[in-house]
């Protein structure tokens, strides 16, 4: 009888001393990981898409700024053969060449109007692309 009692106590001690995780705990952890992995992977995909979109928008902004700076440099040209108000009005409207891949740059010049007795035009530079909003820059040129 005494032996039997000792066996029961040893068996109970073995059961109580067990450490580690059970099968049900492993199943629960795998289920939680499986359920949470899909949204996390979708977030990383969206992050990559938005990151690419913002890179394209930055390129569009720099391209619009470059066009506007070239127009202003052409307007301010003082070499006598190129530049000036009339040259900008006659040579710049339309599509601009040299646009980065996936972007289109256009220049629109308004009809001439008088502002405080001075002839002037509005110059609009618009850069557009497939997955970005239009980037618009506008300036006022006066006849010199």
The pLDDT tens digits of the residues spanning 43-96 come to: 888 888 788 888 899 999 999 999 999 888 888 766 555 667 788 888 888 888
Asked if residue 109 lies in contact with residue 94, where contact means CB atoms within 8 angstroms, the answer is no
The domain locations on the chain are 25-142
The mean pLDDT value of the chain amounts to: 83
Q: Is the pTM of this model over 0.75?
A: no
**Most distant CA pair in the chain: distance in Å?**
121
């Amino acid at each position: 009888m005494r032996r039997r009692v000792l066996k029961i106590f040893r068996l109970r001690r073995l059961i109580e001393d067990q450490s580690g995780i059970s099968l049900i705990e492993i199943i629960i952890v795998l289920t939680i990981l499986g359920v949470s992995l899909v949204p996390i992977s979708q977030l990383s995909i969206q992050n990559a898409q938005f990151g690419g979109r913002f890179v394209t928008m930055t390129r569009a902004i720099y391209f619009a700024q470059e066009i506007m700076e070239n127009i202003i440099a052409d307007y301010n040209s003082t070499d006598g053969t190129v530049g000036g108000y009339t040259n900008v009005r006659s040579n710049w409207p339309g599509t601009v060449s040299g646009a980065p891949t996936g972007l289109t740059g256009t220049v629109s010049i308004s009809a001439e109007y008088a502002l405080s007795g001075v002839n002037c035009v509005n110059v609009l530079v618009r850069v557009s692309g497939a997955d970005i909003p239009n980037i618009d820059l506008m300036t006022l040129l006066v006849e010199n």
